[in-house]
Structure 1
Amino acid sequence: MTTGHTPAGAVDADVVVCGAGVAGLAAACALGRLGLDVALLEKNRRQPPVWKGEVLQPGSLNSLHSWGALPALEARRAVRLNRLVTRRADGAELLTMDFGMLGGERSWMLSHDYTTILECLGESLGTTVHWQRGVLVKDVVKDGDGRVVGVRAVSDGSEYDVRARLVVAADGMSSRVRRLSGLSASPVAYGHKLLSFELPGTPDMDDEVSAYVTDRGLVMVYPLPDERTRVYVQVAPDEIRSADRARLQQWCDELIAGVPALGPLAPAFKEGLDRRQLLPVWQYRAPSLVRPGIALIGEAAHGVHPLAAQGMNTAIGDARVLADRLAGAGITGRGAVDRALRAYEAGRRDRIRDVHVMSHRAARMMTSTSGLGRALGLRLLSGTARSARLRRLTTYNMSGLGMRPLGTVDRLVQLGVLPDRKAPWLPVPK
């Protein structure tokens, strides 16, 4: 930590955003549209391809539209997905969440490559955003009162300070900025990983995300642009470690036999076994999102299982709410910044908790490999499918438009213990 005296008004930017993933770029878009001078610092000179963070929920589409990024995504042939469907291994439908039931201007999801989503956000940055790649944030700068007033950066071997009225940590799960600022998070790994494949061709049902409940756990399939298909397969941490080509072919045969619905994709699977990424899966929430002069957003603040496609979308929500609070309070003085930060934390803490709980419960339903766990998950899914009200409520919660957590009575209805006697609830998208 670097400390020093910062004279009033001695700043290089209104805001410095550390990290240019989806969270950092979203924050830069939103804050730049307030007319703020934003320094966006990213350590990577080029974004490596990552096969996750590809499905945007309706609530995120509204934000991307307001920032000007949505037309760019649509121009690059982003795939419109109308439904999230859970299925048995043979393809039989268990529960369909049709986003069209919610109404609103954009009642669908979009899928595209993570790098393309970043590019579209980057192209939407305002003229007051200054993006510097190849810059490592080495430390935070604090004043004599312990307030974060900037960061120390390293670029091409040279160190320099970037002073700002607000620092936004968007540098991921292992956030250096979070740690140096005295904030914490404790990531917990799930007992499985996801093996991600990119296959040529598209499945028959090309307007949905299909999530299969199988003996081996979760298998998820959705289309990408240019007639490609993304497939996630749940695996044990060491399931295919050091596997040779013959073992991989055998593994693929076992997968298709256990999940017959993947049969049409079998030839593409066997051809594409060498094109895969193994993704660890984590869950965590930072106990606090702010300190004087700094805010956490995105994976610096929280992480969830990717099953429900909530991580990237929650990060976009973080950026939107932070900008809204700053617009309301202003950023000219420290008192105004701190009021905005307190309002941001108050507005996001419960939402992040609810998304975290929802995602974890969905993951437990879909990823259990025990007989009892699968039976319970199937019962909960079937109970939700039988109730029009619960289908609508679950779809709304997944959409990113709002959150109405399920209560005890709702859980008993899902389990079939109680009939659903509540009046239909028609959510109004925000």
Structure 2
Amino acid sequence: MMYRSDVCIVGAGPGGALLAYLLAKKNVSVILIERYAGMGKAFRGEHLNEEGEAILKKYGLFSAVEELGLLHMKQLEYWQDGQLVKKILPDSKVGHLGIHVPQAHLLKVLVKESQKYDSFTLLMNTKVTELLEDETGRYNGVKAIKDGKEIVVRSKLIIGADGRYSTVRKKADIDVTVRKHGYDLLWARIPAPIGWEPAIKMALINGKQLSLFTQALGFIQIGWNIEQGSYPQLRKQPFQPFIDQLVQAFPVLKDSVLQNIRSWEDFVLLDVYSSSSEMWGKHGVALIGDAAHTMTPTGAFGLNSAMKDADVLAELINKDYIAELDLLNCATIRKEEVAKLQAIQIEKEESFASQFVVLA
């Protein structure tokens, strides 16, 4: 089957879905491709900062997301030996230290709003396998497998919004520089106990960061840093002494932890690194979000940066100026800011232990 559009976006995460909406709204025909049959995958970036919040409000999308459910973080706490040692409150002008938005809620709103336009097409359960080129070497489409059958999408511009392992980036032979940060991350999610106040809570366990993020719908997301590459060896050790450290750090969570994290299988491992591509596009291809610049979880910048990429790129594209689009414009506008955010992440990671010196 053959499809045609002005723009083909590969990856229906927040960045890709937002870009699809913004382009469809401008009457740019867009096909949004998602490799999975469903949206809102677990353990993805779900925290909006001021920038992400402002983008949603700019396009009148925030209230619709809010109706589905979100949660404002009212404080940041540092805990040691089961005791609160430091508390940080938000600027009164902002009113929060971040907003938890379930990714499924955000994507539901973006897709629903996009579907109001005839210029928008969503292809789920569709995996891109190849980039297509014209006689000049410019990329002008993709081959993909949808529901087990091969399809072709012809377009004037291909957007790689398909994450840190971007197929579009690989197929376009765009280089990426990877930086390891010395740690990997174990994710888990547990029900919040009754009376739990929405907050971000931090602890230091054996020199490694343990983070708790309160989530909408009554959950707590746990992010536990471990030594890079140590997980295979860690899994060979007894589980109970490991999880006891979490209970000791936050005693109020004892019942929920013991009921919901009973083995290593209850954790999801994230291979942590940051990355950047010197080129964010070439010959009819542009990259946004993690495909262009992977962030670590520190500071929760990834989601917001992908949305900002989409916001900036959408302003550069119109129906009559796609083929001649200077893809470097978006990169020029965004690269410096992304580099600053990645530097902030490194500084935060390196200085984390200093937050606890009040007990020294």
TM-score interval, normalised by the smaller of the two chains: 0.7 to 0.9
- Check whether the contact 2:280–2:328 (CA below 8 A) recurs between aligned residues: no
- Check whether the contact 2:187–2:222 (CA below 8 A) recurs between aligned residues: yes
Q: Distance in 1 between matches of 2:139 and 2:96?
A: 40
Structure 1: gaps of 5 or more residues = 1-9, 367-373, 383-430
- Check whether the contact 1:208–1:222 (CA below 8 A) recurs between aligned residues: yes
Partner residue, 2:235:
241
Secondary structure of the 2:92 match is helix
The alpha carbon displacement at 1:40 in A equals 0.4
Letter in 1 for 2:130: D
The alpha carbon displacement at 1:87 in A equals 4.8
Q: Distance in 2 between matches of 1:70 and 1:321?
A: 18
Q: Distance in 1 between matches of 2:198 and 2:183?
A: 28
2:339 aligned with 1:353: yes
Partner residue, 1:125:
114
- Check whether the contact 1:171–1:299 (CA below 8 A) recurs between aligned residues: yes
The alpha carbon displacement at 1:32 in A equals 1.9
The alpha carbon displacement at 1:348 in A equals 0.6
Residues 88-127 of structure 1 correspond to what in structure 2 (within 5 A)? Answer: 88=80, 90-94=82-86, 96=88, 98-101=90-93, 103=94, 109-126=98-115, 127=117
The alpha-carbon distance between structure 1 residues 30 and 91, as it changes in their structure 2 partners (threshold 3 A), is farther
1:333-355: per-residue Cα shift (whole Å, max 9, x none)?
456422xx222111111111111
The one of the two structures with greater contact order (alpha-carbon pairs below 8 A, sep at least 6) is 2
2:27 aligned with 1:29: no
1:360-399: per-residue Cα shift (whole Å, max 9, x none)?
2212223xxxxxxx45x657x99xxxxxxxxxxxxxxxxx
Equivalent of residue 365 in structure 1, options 346, 351, 355: 351
Q: Distance in 1 between matches of 2:246 and 2:151?
A: 53
Partner residue, 2:330:
344
Partner residue, 1:74:
66
Secondary structure of the 1:100 match is coil
Letter in 2 for 1:347: I
Q: Distance in 1 between matches of 2:344 and 2:178?
A: 17
Letter in 2 for 1:271: Q
The alpha carbon displacement at 1:97 in A equals 5.8
- Check whether the contact 2:295–2:301 (CA below 8 A) recurs between aligned residues: yes
Partner residue, 1:230:
221
Partner residue, 2:288:
297
Residues 18-417 of structure 1 correspond to what in structure 2 (within 5 A)? Answer: 18-47=10-39, 49-88=41-80, 90-94=82-86, 96=88, 98-101=90-93, 103=94, 109-126=98-115, 127=117, 128-202=119-193, 206-236=197-227, 237-238=230-231, 240-242=234-236, 247-257=238-248, 259=249, 262-274=250-262, 275-326=266-317, 330-333=318-321, 336-338=324-326, 341-366=327-352, 374=353
The alpha-carbon distance between structure 1 residues 100 and 143, as it changes in their structure 2 partners (threshold 3 A), is farther
Aligned identity (percent) is 21
Letter in 2 for 1:112: V
**Larger C-alpha radius of gyration, 1 or 2?**
1
Secondary structure of the 1:355 match is helix
- Check whether the contact 1:216–1:234 (CA below 8 A) recurs between aligned residues: no
Q: Distance in 1 between matches of 2:208 and 2:226?
A: 8
Q: Distance in 1 between matches of 2:335 and 2:96?
A: 26
The alpha-carbon distance between structure 1 residues 201 and 231, as it changes in their structure 2 partners (threshold 3 A), is same
Letter in 2 for 1:332: D
Structure 2: gaps of 5 or more residues = none
Q: Distance in 2 between matches of 1:66 and 1:363?
A: 32
Q: Distance in 1 between matches of 2:321 and 2:221?
A: 47
- Check whether the contact 1:69–1:123 (CA below 8 A) recurs between aligned residues: no
Q: Distance in 2 between matches of 1:79 and 1:202?
A: 16
Letter in 2 for 1:263: P
The alpha-carbon distance between structure 1 residues 214 and 241, as it changes in their structure 2 partners (threshold 3 A), is closer
The alpha-carbon distance between structure 1 residues 58 and 188, as it changes in their structure 2 partners (threshold 3 A), is same
Letter in 2 for 1:110: I
Q: CA RMSD in A?
A: 2.7
The alpha-carbon distance between structure 1 residues 97 and 356, as it changes in their structure 2 partners (threshold 3 A), is farther
Q: Distance in 2 between matches of 1:203 and 1:56?
A: 25
1:160-205: per-residue Cα shift (whole Å, max 9, x none)?
3212121110111111111111212133443322222222225866
Q: Distance in 2 between matches of 1:317 and 1:57?
A: 11
Q: Distance in 2 between matches of 1:164 and 1:76?
A: 34
Secondary structure of the 1:322 match is helix
